[in-house]
Amino acid sequence: MRIAMVTRRFWPLVGGAEMAMANLASEFRDRGHRITLLTARWEPSWPSEIRHRDIPVVRLAQPRGRGWGTFVYLRALTRRLVEMRDEVDLVFVSMLKHDAYAAVASRHRHHLPVVIRAEGGGATGDCHWHEEGRFGRRIRRTTTLADAHVAPSPAVADEMIAAGYDPRRLRTIENGVPVQPERRPEDRRRARAALSELHPALVAADHEPLAVYTGRLHPGKGLAELVDAWPAVLRRRPEARLWLVGEGEFERELRMMIRERELQEHVLLPGTFDDVGDVLSAADLFVLPSHHEGLSLALLEAMAAELPVVATEIPGNCRVVRDGVQGKLVPVRDPGAIAAAVLALLDDPEGRLRMGRAARRTAADEHSIGAMASAHLELFEQVLSSREAR
């Protein structure tokens, strides 16, 4: 199968949706499918064509300036899809936003089936953006006409149906991640040594417990409550460290909070990583305090890395985390509960080990990238078959 994958943000921009598309592209390629990935050229200095994980990536023009840049990018995307119409069997788009709008609206020109995938739910999800974003409702009306729709969780599927997406063309395919080798004690030491060589701020001594968050720095991710929880953690475990790995619009506010609480020596914002493997290997536990979430790819990556988790008790998290089995569940917006859960895990090394192993089993058995890719490919085949039958 020849697949054009479209995601406006891609490497070196890193996030859950970007990583999901990269992992899927690699898995599709490994199974013999021909992949071309289309994305935006966010910086003029970036080359317009690269290979990422040996997959061709085409970066389309996007000048600076929000409205004008989006218009130019969408025009370039439409033109490229039309040019590729004899080289591609299907278009697969990440997010129900501008890219999906362009792919569906120009279908009469490129004549390719279009499958679109939602990313995230609740206040940070695509359906909420349709209500708040500029031209969001117009984009929603057009994207409902895609050949098929994918939701990353049942909760997001419910949001999409409520927003007008046809349940007959909607498939729930939950996120999957590459399965990691079993964790060994020396992996933690090796990862910490490697990170400290990469940057002097990324230092955590062997005796210092380390909690990490990876993902977008967004208010809806509950990071304000996590920072608020850390002084209580430090009162019991003054050597404890917290790394908030990622980028986003909430970074400035987080840095202010860290300074105001005098946490600069304990809470670090190191930016983004192409691969968070060493960050997860260096950690003792993972924290995801989101207010809303589909099925978080970052959470699954941490579980696949055999980390116990502290996560908020929301539907997406509860699909993979049972309290006391893969980690600890806490109420939303409750810094005290977050601190108590973190301390409970730090005080129980055997429990951390047991929960981490259970987390890895859950990720490997129920949420592998292989299963995610198979479900998408099955859907693509159905879409192509139904088109041929018309």
What tokens does 73 get?
């990018």
214 and 149 together in one domain: no
Q: How confident is the model at residue 59 (pLDDT cuts 50, 70, 90)?
A: very high
Domain with 66, as residue range(s), is: 2-176+369-389
How many other C-beta atoms can be found within 10 angstroms of the C-beta atom of residue 165? 23
* pLDDT score of 390 more than 70: no
356 and 291 together in one domain: yes
Percent of the chain exceeding pLDDT 90 equals 86
* pLDDT score of 370 more than 70: yes
230 and 307 together in one domain: yes
Q: For 284-343, what is each residue's pLDDT tens digit?
A: 999 999 998 878 999 999 999 999 999 999 988 999 999 999 999 999 999 999 999 999
Domain CATH for 315? 3.40.50.2000
Please tell me the predicted confidence (pLDDT) of residue 190: 97
Q: How confident is the model at residue 121 (pLDDT cuts 50, 70, 90)?
A: confident
In the block, tokens 């990622």 appear at 246
Q: pTM of the prediction? A: 0.87
Q: For 235-264, what is each residue's pLDDT tens digit?
A: 999 999 999 999 999 999 999 999 999 999
Question: Cα dist. 326→143, 310, 364, 370, 380 in Å?
Answer: 37, 9, 13, 22, 33
126 and 267 together in one domain: no
CA distance 327 to 286: 9
Apex CA 326: angle with CA 323 and CA 327, to 5°?
A: 60
338 and 380 together in one domain: no
302 and 324 together in one domain: yes
53 and 155 together in one domain: yes
Q: For 160-177, what is each residue's pLDDT tens digit?
A: 999 999 999 999 999 999
What tokens does 260 get?
């105001």
11 and 45 together in one domain: yes
* pLDDT score of 179 more than 90: no
Apex CA 41: angle with CA 89 and CA 199, to 5°?
A: 115
80 and 126 together in one domain: yes
Total domains in the chain come to 2
159 and 203 together in one domain: no
94 and 161 together in one domain: yes
95 and 199 together in one domain: no
- Furthest C-alpha separation in the chain: 67
